[in-house]
Amino acid sequence: MSLAFIFPGQGSQAVGMGADLAEAFASARAVFEEVDEALKQKLSKLMREGPEDELTLTENAQPALMAVSLAVMRALEAELGVSMSKAAFVAGHSLGEYSALAAASAITLGDTARLLKLRGQAMQRAVPVGEGAMASLIGPKADVALAEAAAAIGAEIGVCVVANDNNAGNVVISGDKAAVDRAIEAAKALGARAIPLNVSAPFHCPLMQPAADEMARALAEATIVSPRAPLVANITARPLHDPDTIRRLLVEQVTGRVRWRESMEWLADEGGVTRFAEAGAGKVLTGIAKRIAPDALVSALNAPADLEAFAQSL
């Protein structure tokens, strides 16, 4: 068995996430306490009790999702005997890349929380609310080629690019609102369904350059070491372990495309991964993994019972 841990991105957050982990595992409670201390914020209380609109704010959702993922990983390792040494690779969707790196001990938990708080704030500052937009193109015809064709039509009047290539039939575009609106109509004409996303900013597009500049300064000062398992990066869809390359690609990732479909295909085909475990909130990546690698074993590690069953199965 070749195992990859995968880590969810924004959109998987929900009030109450992580509460059962904190109740079941002392090591999980310690993660939430450490994140609270690093941020000088009662983020764990917000995660437990809401309100939802405050948790959904990018600057809160990003470190909160990372905290749940790391609570899962710490509980597995400290209390259930599942070492990171069992993982052949790690990968994370957008902010999940930071979770992956923290899980693989490339960045400390406190530094990861602070970086994600800044990342969320910088992304929100980069584009005034209402000026940017994102949309999900879905359906049998919604592949990258269709998305790029629709985005090119939108780009005639503003910034519009493919932001997330999640899997065949699920591609996200991002950019100026008017340009994305035009691309939505083009995508529909080309045979795809198009759903505007309820997001606060147009992520993973050139409009995020001010945020990338802020992250470049912050990451230049952060300590990053080689991860315990190679990271399959969003930008390249290939494994890497060099700290300087990781630092550079984390900056590029702010404005660049999340090549998740290609990352998963590489893991399943070239990487030889036969088992995927999604560590953290939600099951979005679990569903994608089942579609891209139907022969692989796939587990969503959300609740204490999930962790216990996974540990016993190894």
Active-site residue, 94 included: yes
User: What type of residue sits at position 115?
Assistant: L
Q: What is the DSSP string of 152-167?
A: HHHTTSS-EEEEEEEE
Give φ, ψ of 220 to 5 degrees.
Answer: -65, -30
- Catalytic residue, candidates 94, 99, 136, 200: 94
What is the C-alpha to C-alpha distance for residues 260 and 293, in angstroms, rounded to an integer?
Answer: 13
Q: Which secondary-structure segment (H or E) carries 64? A: helix 58-79
Q: What is the DSSP string of 282-301?
A: -SHHHHHHHHH-TTSEEEEE
Which candidate, 134, 135, 142, places its Cα nearest to that of 190?
Answer: 142
Strand order in the sheet with 193-196: 160-167, 170-176, 132-138, 193-196
List % helix, strand, coil for the chain (3-state, nearest 5).
Answer: 55, 15, 30
Active-site residue, 93 included: no
- Catalytic residue, candidates 200, 204, 263, 299: 204
What is the C-alpha to C-alpha distance for residues 35 and 117, in angstroms, rounded to an integer?
Answer: 11
Tell me, rounded to whole angstroms, the distance of Cα 195 from its chain centroid.
20
- How far is the first Cα of the chain from the last one, in angstroms, to the nearest whole number? 9
* Cβ-count burial 206-237 (b if 16+ within 10 Å, e if not): ebbeebbebbeebbeebebeebebbbbbbbbb
Query: Looking at the annotation, which residues are catalytic?
Result: 94, 204
